[in-house]
């Protein structure tokens, strides 16, 4: 849906006129396609569409895990919007996205460019940078907690070297979110790093060389040759990173449990707590739908915007 393939029709594909003339055959193809698609469509309906619709239904009820259910209409939504805690939770999620997505992209793209074709041992670097993505997040978070907490590695290191105490990273409202973002970037940049590395490898050496002969410096070569060619990958990475960062859960859940106060609580954590800890499924489902709508909107804006800067047919 993102690639507009009709502009560059590969040779051999029938022209529009041909297609009109061969309708019955196409219809048969469509039927076969339908049969082949059925298993995955069935799965999609059962495991994605149905739960989504079900959540919408539940969000209109006062739905305790046990006890009487009561139809509320949109009361859960009004309660959420009037709740200072939920508003803060939405802001926290936005803050995480605003801090995490650009930093992640800059770090992963920067390192991918640095570990470019000319560096020695680039395979080793690629493996090294990918290790945090592969190790279980829970284990990573445990180690970062030991770094961050009072009397932890950072704190005691600063104290023994400089005689000062580090901020209480996980206990201070000002520091907790940056701490969560820092840990998340370390943990997550490896994936985009691989995506960008693969994209950079696809940039033809001949074009870079001809640009060099024409007198383009390294910055110009990056800006006018490399950048346009990797925009599809950047678009892909941005979209995926945005979606996953709106859904951030594990890092704050284990590192700070959303605290102090609600300083690091995110929407998904809120959903989890309301649903599985406090057993109020209606409110949890409503919050889930709020998140769904936000992600849909942001993704839609991205797809509209990409026409202006993503170049598929270079």
Partner 1 sequence: MRGTPARARRWATAALSVLALTAVAACGGGNDGSGGGSGSADKADLTWSFWVAGTEDQAAWQKVADQAHTDHPGITVKLQGTTWDNYWAKVGTLLASGKAPCIMGMQSLRLASYANALLPLDDLMTKYGLKTEDFDKPIMDGLKADGKQIAIPYDSGPMVIFYNRDLFKAAGVAEPKPGWTMDEFTAAAKKLTSAGKTGFVTSPGDLGVTSWVRTQTGAEPLADGKLALTDPKFEEGFTTYANFVKTDKIAPQVPSGNPDFETQQFTSGKAAMQLNGPWSLIDVKGKVKFDLGIAPIPAGPDGSKTYTAGSGFGISRSCKTPDAAFQAIMSMTSEKPLTTLAVAGRAYPARTVAHPAWFTAVKVEGAKETIDYASENSVPLVTSKNWVQVADLLNRFGTQALNGEIPPDQALKTIQDQAGAGS
Residue with Cβ nearer partner 1 (31 or 223): 31
Of 77, 95, 168, 186, the residue at the interface with partner 1 (CB under 8 A) is: 168
The count of residues interacting with partner 1 (CB under 8 A) is 44
What part of residues 235-274 is at the interface with partner 1 (CB under 8 A)? 254-265, 273
**Residue 64: DSSP 8-state:** B
Cα–Cα distances in angstroms (integers) from residue 240 to residues 97, 101, 149, in the given order: 12, 10, 31
Q: Minimum Å distance from CB 134 to partner 1?
A: 23
Of 279, 293, 297, 300, the residue at the interface with partner 1 (CB under 8 A) is: 279
What part of residues 76-105 is at the interface with partner 1 (CB under 8 A)? 85
Of 9, 20, 53, 300, the residue at the interface with partner 1 (CB under 8 A) is: 53
Q: Report the b/e string of 232-244 with b at 16+ CB within 10 A.
A: bbbbbbbbebbeb
Q: Minimum Å distance from CB 271 to partner 1?
A: 13
Should residue 196 be labelled a site residue for partner 1 when binding is judged by CB under 8 A?
no
For 70, list phi and psi in degrees, rounded to 5. Answer: -135, 135
Of 25, 44, 65, 124, the residue at the interface with partner 1 (CB under 8 A) is: 65
Of 132, 150, 178, 228, the residue at the interface with partner 1 (CB under 8 A) is: 150
Paired tokens of 236: 């892909």
Provide the terminal-to-terminal Cα distance of the chain, rounded to the nearest Å: 18
Q: Say which residues have a Cβ less than 8 Å from residue 141's Cβ, sequence separation at least 6.
A: 183, 250, 251, 254, 255
Paired tokens of 193: 């790093």
For 247, list phi and psi in degrees, rounded to 5. Answer: -95, 15
Q: Minimum Å distance from CB 57 to partner 1?
A: 6
Tell me which stretch binds partner 1 (CB under 8 A): 108-116, 230-238, 276-284, 300-308: 276-284
Residue with Cβ nearer partner 1 (105 or 283): 283
Whether 170 and 149 have beta carbons less than 8 Å apart is answered as yes
Should residue 216 be labelled a site residue for partner 1 when binding is judged by CB under 8 A?
no
């Amino acid at each position: 849906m993102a690639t507009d393939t009709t502009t560059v029709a590969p040779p051999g594909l029938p022209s529009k006129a041909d297609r009109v003339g061969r309708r019955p055959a196409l219809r048969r193809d469509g039927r076969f396609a339908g049969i082949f698609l059925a298993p995955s469509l069935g799965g999609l309906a059962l495991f994605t569409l149905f739960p989504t619709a079900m959540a919408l239904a539940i969000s209109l009820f006062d739905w305790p895990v046990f006890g009487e259910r009561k139809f509320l209409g949109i009361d859960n939504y009004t309660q959420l919007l009037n709740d200072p805690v939920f508003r803060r939770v939405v802001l926290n999620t936005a803050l995480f996205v605003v801090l995490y997505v650009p930093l992640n992209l800059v770090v992963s793209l920067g390192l991918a460019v640095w570990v470019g074709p000319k560096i020695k041992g680039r395979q080793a670097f690629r493996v090294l940078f990918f290790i945090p993505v592969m190790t279980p997040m829970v284990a990573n978070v445990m180690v970062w907690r030991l770094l961050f907490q009072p009397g932890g590695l950072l704190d005691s290191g600063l104290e023994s070297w400089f005689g000062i105490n580090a901020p209480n990273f996980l206990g201070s409202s000002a520091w907790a979110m940056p701490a969560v973002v820092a840990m998340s970037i370390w943990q997550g940049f490896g994936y985009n790093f691989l995506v960008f590395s693969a994209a950079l490898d696809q940039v033809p050496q001949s074009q870079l060389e001809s640009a060099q002969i024409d007198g383009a410096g390294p910055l110009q070569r990056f800006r006018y040759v490399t950048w346009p060619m990797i925009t599809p990958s950047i678009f892909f990475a941005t979209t995926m990173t945005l979606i996953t960062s709106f859904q951030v859960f594990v890092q704050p859940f284990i590192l700070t449990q959303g605290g102090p106060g609600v300083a690091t609580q995110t929407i998904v954590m809120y959903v989890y707590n309301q649903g599985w800890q406090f057993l109020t499924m209606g409110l949890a489902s409503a919050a889930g739908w709020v998140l769904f709508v936000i992600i849909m909107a942001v993704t839609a804006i991205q797809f509209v915007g990409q026409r202006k800067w993503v170049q598929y047919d270079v």
